[in-house]
C-alpha cells in the first residue's frame, strides 16, 4: 500500500541476537540493503545466559568469525572485563581464549556497530508470517500488519518461538524472562511443510554482589598478560575483574530436594530435551547423587554493576527453594537476589531441513541461523549468522556459495554436523567433534579464513595484507631456525637452567626448539643472532614468535593430520546430485534409502557421516555416481 514508506530490501534479518547481528552486518557489509527486525531494540545481542564469550572450542569459533570479517571478536575485546587463555598446559590446538564481558556494554557496542553500517535499517516489531510464492520467499508480515518485501530472509529467532518459561509450578509465555514470546511464526512455517520440535534450556539466578561475601571464596583472576580475540588492532583488557569459586554442600542438596516434587523437570511438565553438558543443579544432584558438592562459579556481569551470575546453579525449582538453598552456600549466607533461575522451552526446526549455506531446502532464499536450528551458545549462533548472512547476499547476487569444510574451520564442523546428523539436544561445539583438531587452532584462524573472507569481500584488504605479512615473516623465521646453528657455549647455560641435556656440538636451532622444555623465548635469550633477527622484525613480534614455535614444535603431528585430511577430502569432492532418487536404488539398505532421501547429502563425504549409511551403501553410491 505505502511502498514508499516501507522500502524493498535485499535481505531481512528477523531477530537481533548473536546470529542476527552477524548476519545483518555480513550481508550489509557485502553490499546488500538489510532490514533488521527485532521485538525490542533495547535488547540487541543480549547475553541471555552467562556474561562470557569463548572457552574451549567456542573461543576458536570466535577467532574464526573474526578472521572472516565478523564482529563478535571485536565487540568482545571492547567489552572484556577478564581474559583467560584456557588449556595453556596442553598443546596449541587446545589453547582456547575466553573472556568475561560487560553484558550491557556488549549489547550497546553491537547496536552501535550495526547503527554505523549505513546499509542496515531497523524495525521494532514481531514477525508472524513469512511470505512465500512458488516455494520462494519474498518478504515477511509483522504483528502490526506491515508487509516488508525482500529477496531473502534470515530467521534467527533464538528461544523466542513459542517460548515457555518454567519456575517451579509456574509457567508462562516468554522468550526470555521479562520479554514476550513470538507466536504465530512456527505455525506459519509448519503450514509451509517444515518440521518443528521442542528444546529446553535453563539459566541460573542472578545475585546482588553487595550481599556476597567474596572473601571466603576462591578468587580466579584473569591472565597476567591478557590477549584478545580479534586479529585486528583492538586492545587487550586492562585492570581485570575476578571470578570466584564456591561449592554447594549436602545441606544445600537437601533443601533443593524438598522442591523436587514441584520441579517441572521431574514432574514431566518440561517436554523438550535439554543439554547434557549444561544440566540444572537439580539434575546434577539427581544423576550424580554420590557427589556431596558441586562447584559454583560466580561471574561479574560488568564493570559498573553489582549483578553477579551464579554459574552452576541453573534451576527451574520454585524460586523460594532456589533462594533458600543458595543461602546455605559458603559466601551466600546473606545474599539478596535479583531474579531466580528458570527453564525455557522453545521451538526449533531440526536442521536436516537446511543445506550447507543454511538456506532451507523447502523455501528458496529463506535462511535459518542460531538457536532456531537447535544449537546453544552465542558463538555457535554468531557463526551460523555470519554464514547465513554471507550466503543470502551471494545467492541473491548469483554468486557461488560460501561453504567451509570440516578441515577448514570449526564453523564447517558445526554446520556439517547440524545438517548431516541433526541434533535432538541443544548442540554445543566441542573440540572432539572436529577430526582435524590440530589444524583448526585459534592461532591460525587468520591464515585459514582471512584469505577466504577477503575473496568474497568481507575481510578488508588491510587485514588480508596483515595475514600475508605475518605468515611471510613466520616462514622466514622458520628458515632462519632451520639454517642457523646454535653454539654450545652460547646455548648451554639456558639448557642447564631449563634442566635439559646440554648440546654437545653445534646444532640447528630448530632441533633444539623441538625439546619440550625449551621455548622460543629461551632461544631468543640464549642465541644472539636469533635475538637480533627477532628484534629487527617490523611488528607483531610476539605473534610471529608464537606461530613459529607452534609450527616447528608440532610440525610432525600437524603434517600427519593434514595428510589424513587431504586423503578424506577426495570423498568431499565427489558430488551427489540432489535430484537422485534414492528410493529407486534397490541395492541400498532401506535405512540408508530413507536417510539419504531426507538429508540429501551434497557429497559422498557427507553421505558417509550420516548415521545408518554403511560403507557398503557408500560403495553403491560411488558406483551410481559413475566416474
Partner 1 sequence: MNRNDTICALSTPPGMGAIAVIRISGPEAIPACEKIFRPAEKNLKLSDAPSHTLHFGTISTSNELLDEVLVSVFKAPHSYTGEDVIEISCHGSVYIQQKIIEVLICNGLRMAQPGEFTMRAFLNGRFDLSQAEAIADLIASQSQSAHDLAIRQMRGGFSKKIRELREKLVTFASLVELELDFSEEDVEFADRSKLLDLILQLKNEIANLLNSFTIGNVIKKGIPVTIIGKPNVGKSTLLNALLNEERAIVSEIPGTTRDTVEDTIVIGGYSFRFIDTAGLREAEGKIESIGIEKTWEKIHQATIILYVFDATKDSSKVVMNAVSEFSEITEDSTKRLILIGNKTDKLSELPKGFREFVDHETIFISAKRKENIHLIAESLLKSVRQAGITDTAIVSNTRHYDALSHALEAINSIHEGLNTGLTPDLLSVDIHKALYHLGEITGEITTDEILGNIFSKFCIGK
Applying CB under 8 A, the residues found at the interface with partner 1 are: 55-57, 86-87, 89-91, 93-94, 275-279, 284, 287-288, 291, 294-297, 311-312, 421, 430-433, 435, 437-438, 516, 554, 557, 560-561, 567, 570-571, 585-589, 611, 614-616, 618-620, 622-624, 626-627
**CB of 271 or CB of 570, closer to partner 1:** 570
Q: DSSP states of 228-254 as a string?
A: -S-SSS-----SPPPEEEEE--HHHHH
Give the Å distances, CA to CA, from 488 to 222, 330, 505. Answer: 38, 56, 6
Give the nearer residue to partner 1 in terms of CB position, either 259 or 274: 274
User: Which residue spans within 231-336 are E strands per DSSP?
Assistant: 243-247, 295-300, 307-314
Q: Please tell me the distance from the alpha carbon of residue 160 to that of residue 174, in angstroms, as a whole number.
A: 7
H/E element holding 11?
Answer: strand 9-14
Q: Residue 35 or 513: which CB sits closer to partner 1?
A: 513
Is the Cβ of residue 130 or residue 411 nearer to partner 1 in the bound state?
411
**In whole angstroms, how close is the CB of 288 to partner 1 at the nearest point?**
4
Residue whose CB is less far from partner 1, 292 or 543? 292
Q: For the chain, what's the residue count?
A: 627
Residue among 29 and 311 whose Cβ is closer to partner 1? 311
Least distance from partner 1 to the Cβ atom of residue 213, Å: 20
Residue among 239 and 626 whose Cβ is closer to partner 1: 626
- Distance in Å, CB of 87 to partner 1, minimum: 5
Could you give the angle at which helices 410-421 and 378-396 cross, rounded to 10 degrees? 80
Q: How far is the CB of 439 from partner 1 (least distance, A)?
A: 11
CA distance 284 to 174: 26
**DSSP single-letter state for residue 223:** P
* Closest separation in Å from C-beta 357 to partner 1: 24
Q: Which is nearer to partner 1, 472 or 590 (CB)?
A: 590
Q: Which is nearer to partner 1, 26 or 418 (CB)?
A: 418
Closest by Cα among 329, 425, 328, 320 to 371: 425
The cell for 127 is 514477525
Q: Which is nearer to partner 1, 38 or 311 (CB)?
A: 311
Q: What are phi and psi of 19, to 5 degrees?
A: -70, -50
- Strands 366-368 and 337-339, by their bridges, are unpaired
Q: How far is the CB of 290 from partner 1 (least distance, A)?
A: 10
28: left (phi over 0), alpha (psi -120 to 50) or beta: alpha
Least distance CB 56 / partner 1 (angstroms): 6
Q: How crowded is residue 531: how many other Cβ atoms within 10 Å of its Cβ?
A: 13
* Integer CA distances (angstroms), 219 to 210, 222, 337, 474, in order: 16, 10, 21, 38
Q: Which is nearer to partner 1, 216 or 564 (CB)?
A: 564
End-to-end Cα distance, the chain? 55
Q: CA-CA distance, 114 to 343, in Å (whole number)? A: 30
Check residue 553 and give left, alpha or beta (phi > 0: left; psi -120 to 50: alpha): alpha
* Residue 333 contacts residue 217 (beta carbons within 8 Å): no
- For the record, the C-alpha cell of 528 comes out as 644472539
Reduced to 3 states (helix: H, G, I; strand: E, B; else coil), residue 139 is strand
* CA angle 516–521–524, rounded 5-degree value: 115
- Positive or negative, the CA dihedral 473, 475, 477, 480 is negative
Q: Are 437 and 412 in contact (CB under 8 A)?
A: no
Q: Closest CB to partner 1 among 58 and 141?
A: 58
Give the C-alpha separation, 463 to 484, whole Å.
31
Minimum CB distance to partner 1 smaller for 267 or for 517: 517
In angstroms, what is the minimal distance from the CB of 220 to partner 1?
Answer: 10
Residue where the block lists cell 556494554: 105
Report in angstroms how near the CB of residue 555 gets to partner 1 at its nearest. Answer: 12
Least Cβ distance, residue 623 to partner 1 (angstroms): 5
Q: CB of residue 499 vs partner 1: minimum separation in angstroms?
A: 13
Query: What's the Cα-to-Cα distance from 45 to each of 15, 105, 158, 225, 345, rounded to whole Å?
Result: 9, 10, 11, 28, 20
Q: How many whole angstroms separate alpha carbon 144 and alpha carbon 425?
A: 34
What does the alpha-carbon distance between residue 323 and residue 206 come to, in Å, rounded to a whole number?
10
Residue among 123 and 554 whose Cβ is closer to partner 1: 554
Q: How far is the CB of 414 from partner 1 (least distance, A)?
A: 13
Beta carbon of residue 253, minimum distance to partner 1 (angstroms, whole number): 13
> From the CB of 80, what's the least distance to partner 1, in Å?
18
Amino acid at each position: 500500500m505505502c511502498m514508499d514508506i516501507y522500502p524493498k530490501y535485499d535481505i531481512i534479518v528477523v531477530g537481533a541476537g548473536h546470529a542476527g547481528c552477524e548476519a545483518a552486518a555480513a550481508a550489509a557489509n557485502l553490499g546488500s540493503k538489510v532490514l533488521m527486525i527485532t521485538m525490542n531494540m533495547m535488547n540487541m545481542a543480549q547475553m541471555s545466559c552467562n556474561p562470557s564469550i569463548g572457552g574451549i572450542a567456542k573461543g576458536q569459533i570466535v577467532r574464526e568469525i573474526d578472521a572472516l570479517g565478523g564482529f563478535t571478536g571485536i565487540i568482545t575485546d571492547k567489552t572484556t572485563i577478564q581474559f583467560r587463555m584456557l588449556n595453556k598446559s596442553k598443546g596449541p590446538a587446545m589453547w582456547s581464549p575466553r573472556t568475561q564481558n560487560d553484558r550491557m556494554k556488549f549489547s550497546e557496542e553491537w547496536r552501535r556497530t550495526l547503527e554505523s553500517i549505513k546499509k542496515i535499517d531497523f524495525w521494532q516489531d514481531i514477525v508472524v508470517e513469512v511470505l512465500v510464492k512458488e516455494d520462494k520467499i519474498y518478504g515477511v508480515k509483522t504483528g502490526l500488519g506491515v508487509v516488508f518485501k525482500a529477496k531473502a530472509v534470515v530467521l534467527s529467532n533464538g528461544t523466542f518461538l513459542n517460548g515457555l518459561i518454567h519456575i517451579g509450578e509456574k509457567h508462562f509465555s516468554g522468550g526470555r524472562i521479562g520479554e514476550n514470546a513470538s507466536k504465530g511464526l512456527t505455525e506459519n512455517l509448519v503450514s509451509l511443510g517444515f518440521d518443528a520440535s521442542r528444546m529446553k534450556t535453563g539459566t541460573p539466578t542472578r545475585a546482588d554482589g553487595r550481599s556476597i561475601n567474596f572473601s571466603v571464596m576462591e578468587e580466579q583472576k584473569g591472565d597476567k598478560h591478557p590477549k584478545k580475540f580479534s586479529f585486528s588492532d583492538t586492545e587487550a583488557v586492562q585492570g581485570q575483574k575476578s571470578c570466584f569459586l564456591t561449592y554447594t554442600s549436602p545441606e544445600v542438596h537437601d533443601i533443593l530436594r524438598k522442591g523436587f516434587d514441584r520441579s517441572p523437570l521431574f514432574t514431566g511438565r518440561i517436554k523438550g530435551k535439554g543439554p547434557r553438558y549444561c544440566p540444572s543443579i537439580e539434575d546434577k544432584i539427581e544423576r550424580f547423587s554420590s557427589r556431596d558438592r558441586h562447584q559454583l562459579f560466580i561471574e561479574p556481569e560488568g564493570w559498573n554493576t553489582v549483578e553477579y551470575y551464579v554459574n552452576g546453579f541453573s534451576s527451574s525449582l520454585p524460586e523460594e527453594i532456589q533462594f533458600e538453598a543458595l543461602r546455605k552456600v559458603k559466601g551466600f549466607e546473606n545474599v539478596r537476589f535479583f531474579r531466580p533461575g528458570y527453564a525455557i522451552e522453545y521451538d526449533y526446526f531440526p536442521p536436516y531441513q537446511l543445506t550447507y549455506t543454511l538456506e532451507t531446502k523447502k523455501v528458496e532464499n529463506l535462511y535459518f541461523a542460531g538457536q532456531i536450528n537447535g544449537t546453544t551458545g552465542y558463538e555457535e549462533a554468531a557463526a551460523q549468522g555470519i554464514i547465513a548472512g554471507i550466503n543470502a547476499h551471494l545467492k541473491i547476487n548469483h554468486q557461488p556459495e560460501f561453504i567451509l569444510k570440516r578441515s577448514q574451520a570449526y564453523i564447517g564442523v558445526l554446520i556439517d554436523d547440524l545438517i548431516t546428523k541433526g541434533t535432538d539436544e541443544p548442540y554445543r561445539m566441542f573440540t572432539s567433534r572436529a577430526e582435524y583438531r590440530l589444524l583448526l587452532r585459534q592461532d591460525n584462524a587468520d591464515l585459514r579464513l582471512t584469505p577466504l573472507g577477503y575473496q568474497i569481500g568481507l575481510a578488508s584488504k588491510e587485514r588480508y595484507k596483515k595475514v600475508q605479512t605475518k605468515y611471510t615473516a613466520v616462514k622466514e623465521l622458520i628458515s632462519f631456525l632451520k639454517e642457523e646453528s646454535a653454539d654450545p657455549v652460547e646455548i648451554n647455560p639456558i639448557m642447564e637452567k631449563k634442566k635439559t641435556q646440554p648440546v654437545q656440538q653445534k646444532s640447528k636451532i630448530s632441533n633444539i626448539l623441538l625439546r619440550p622444555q625449551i621455548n622460543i623465548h629461551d632461544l631468543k635469550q640464549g642465541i644472539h643472532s636469533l635475538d637480533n633477527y627477532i628484534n629487527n622484525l617490523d611488528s607483531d613480534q610476539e605473534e610471529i614468535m608464537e606461530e613459529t614455535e607452534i609450527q616447528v614444535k608440532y610440525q610432525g603431528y600437524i603434517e600427519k593430520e593434514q595428510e589424513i585430511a587431504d586423503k578424506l577430502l577426495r570423498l568431499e569432492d565427489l558430488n551427489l546430485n540432489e535430484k537422485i532418487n534414492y528410493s529407486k536404488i534397490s541395492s541400498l539398505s532401506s535405512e540408508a534409502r530413507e536417510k539419504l532421501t531426507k538429508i540429501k547429502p551434497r557429497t559422498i563425504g557427507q553421505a558417509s557421516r550420516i548415521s545408518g549409511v554403511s560403507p557398503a551403501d557408500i560403495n553403491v553410491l560411488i558406483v551410481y555416481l559413475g566416474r
